[in-house]
Structure 1
Amino acid sequence: MHIIKLNATDSTNNYLRRLLVNKKVEDFTVVVADHQTHGRGQMGTVWNSEVSKNLTFSVFKDLSVHVVEFPFYISMAISLAILKALKTFNIPDLRIKWPNDILSADKKICGILIENVIKNRLESTIIGIGVNVNQVDFEGLPKASSLKNITGVHYNLDEVLFRIMTYTKEYSLLLQDGKYDEVKNEYEASLFRKDKPSTFKDANGNFFSGFVKGVTKYGKLMITLEDEIVKKFDLKEIEILY
């Protein structure tokens, strides 16, 4: 595992993309930055983080050695890797909020941004990860928290990174070995609001009720509605409310 440490960059995902233009990048290369000037989240959102208090990094994963037919399995695998790593720090009540936010006690502590590199096929992926570790003030972000806020413990960022990467390699091997059902079943069992009566908001701002049932291999969320009808929703079509 090759680790590149930066004081600052626009975003660690962008940094890795620039590296790929000019040279071959080693599998599991990690770029970690104390500060991202233009950190990004899902669907163009901005990821704000206090300098040197949190873990902001990206991982390059070479996929040329095996075919990943359904890219959402990458999202499921990395979500589970982070969940398992955080469990080793005794972080309580961990869940995955579809598609790949990590929650503790219903508060967001980690976000993931996956950008696949596709030529004739899916050749590699860049996985951007932001973990709220030692930041304690989240003014204006009532749904955000950090490991320190939850446990009162001050964490070593390098140790958190090491454990996440250990489990990232473990789950990458599961995909490489074709154990897709194992990954999907574990992911679905860890979903936020799974099998609980929940409220959702669609793209038009309409609210409705249902139960989170699971996900498709394409990453769509399956929700059981009234009369036991199961409907599938894409990321841009629906939001799970807390």
Structure 2
Amino acid sequence: MHIIKLNAIDSTNSYLRELSTSGDPEDYTVVVAREQTRGRGQMGTLWTSEPGKNLTCSVYKKIDCVRKEEIFFLSMAVSLAVLQTLKRFGIPQLKIKWPNDILSAHHKICGVLIESVIKGDRLNAAIVGIGLNVNQTGFGGLSSAGSLKSITGVHYNLDELLNRIISELKHYEGMIVGREFELLKKEYEQNLFRKDKPSTFSDNASGSVFMGFIKGISETGKLLIELEDRMMRECDLKEVKLMY
């Protein structure tokens, strides 16, 4: 593992993207920033945090053993690596909110953004961005946000958390290399937020609201929702939003 520590950067994912464009970073090159000024989340949202209080990092992961349509298995692996790390640190009521947010109870404590690196027409690597709220306790009135410290009252060492996440990620990488996709998917679904519970969703296209049950995910990572008429709807991130 090669670690690059920066005081401030616009985005650790963007930094690694530039490195991969100009060369070939070694596997598990990790960029960690004390301050990230334009951290990015899903759907182009901005992710902000107080300098020095949270884990803001990106990992360059060579992943040429899967096809482009199988990239969601890496997303599962990253989500589970973070979740298992937090379990080891005693964080309670952990769940994965599809596709890869980590919740403690109803508080979002971690977001993940994965970007593919394509060389030619093949998937060559992925840039895994992780934003984990650790020692920050104020979130500007965002009641849905939380951190490890706000939940437990404990102050955490960022390097210790990072090392454990990388160790767990290497464990789940072994499942990907061994193509143990069904086992990976099963563990992911077992930890899926609101699975088999009546939930409310918003249709992003029409703005309408509907009820359903999360039953799992498809092989390509789409959310499987059982509707009230027992029909199954398969949705991607742009189509629906879980309202709870």
For normalisation by structure 1, the TM-score amounts to 0.98
Matched, 1:61 2:31: no
**CA distance in structure 2 between the aligned counterparts of 1:223 and 1:180, rounded to whole angstroms:** 21
Q: What secondary structure is seen at the aligned counterpart in 2 of 1:112?
A: strand
Match of 1:210 among 212, 215, 236: 212
User: What is residue 237 of structure 1 aligned with on the other side?
Assistant: 239
Q: Which amino acid aligns with 1:101?
A: D
In 1, the alpha carbon distance for the partners of 2:21 and 2:71 equals 22
Q: Residue 153 of structure 1 aligns with which residue?
A: 154
- Deviations along 1:171-225, one digit per CA (max 9) or x if unpaired, are 1111011100010000011110000011111112211111000000111100011
Question: Which residue matches 2:222?
Answer: 220
CA–CA distance in 1 between the matches of 2:20 and 2:228? 48
Q: Aligned AA for 1:94?
A: L
2: distance between equivalents of 1:67 and 1:98? 21
Match of 1:96 in 2: 96
Match of 2:75 in 1: 75
- Residue 181 of structure 1 corresponds to 182
Paired residue type of 1:74: L
**What stretches of structure 1 of length at least 5 have no aligned partner?**
none
Is it true that 1:137 corresponds to 2:114 in the alignment? Answer: no
Code of the residue aligned with 1:142 in structure 2: it is: S
Q: Greater CA deviation, 14-23 or 142-151?
A: 14-23
Alignment deviations for residues 5-37 of structure 1 (CA, whole Å, 9 cap, x no partner)? 000111000111111122221101100000011
In the alignment, the residues of structure 2 paired with residue 164 and residue 25 of structure 1 have an alpha-carbon distance, to the nearest angstrom, of 20
- Distance of 2:116 and 2:225 partners within structure 1: 27
CA distance in 1 between counterparts of 2:46 and 2:63 reads 28
Q: Deviations over 1:52-110 (max 9, x none)?
A: 0000000000123x234511111111000100000000000000000000000111000
CA distance in 2, matches of 1:241, 1:107: 14
Summarize deviations over 1:104-129 as a string: whole Å, max 9, x none. 01110000000001131111000000
CA distance in 2, matches of 1:184, 1:31: 28
Q: Secondary structure at the match of 2:24?
A: coil
- Point out the more displaced range, 186-195 or 20-29: 20-29
Q: Distance in 2 between matches of 1:170 and 1:115?
A: 21
Q: Percent identity?
A: 59
Alpha-carbon distance in 1 for matches of 2:189, 2:2: 32
C-alpha separation in 2, matches of 1:214 and 1:26? 34
Paired with 1:67 and 1:183, the residues of 2 have a C-alpha distance of 14
Paired residues in the alignment total 241
- Amino acid in structure 1 at the alignment position of 2:209: F
Q: Which residue of 1 aligns with 2:48?
A: 48
2:30 pairs with 1:30: yes
Q: Measure how far apart 1:130 and its partner are.
A: 0.2
RMSD: 0.9
Partner residue, 1:117: 117
Aligned to 1:108: 108
The equivalent residue for 2:173 is 172
Amino acid at match of 1:168: L
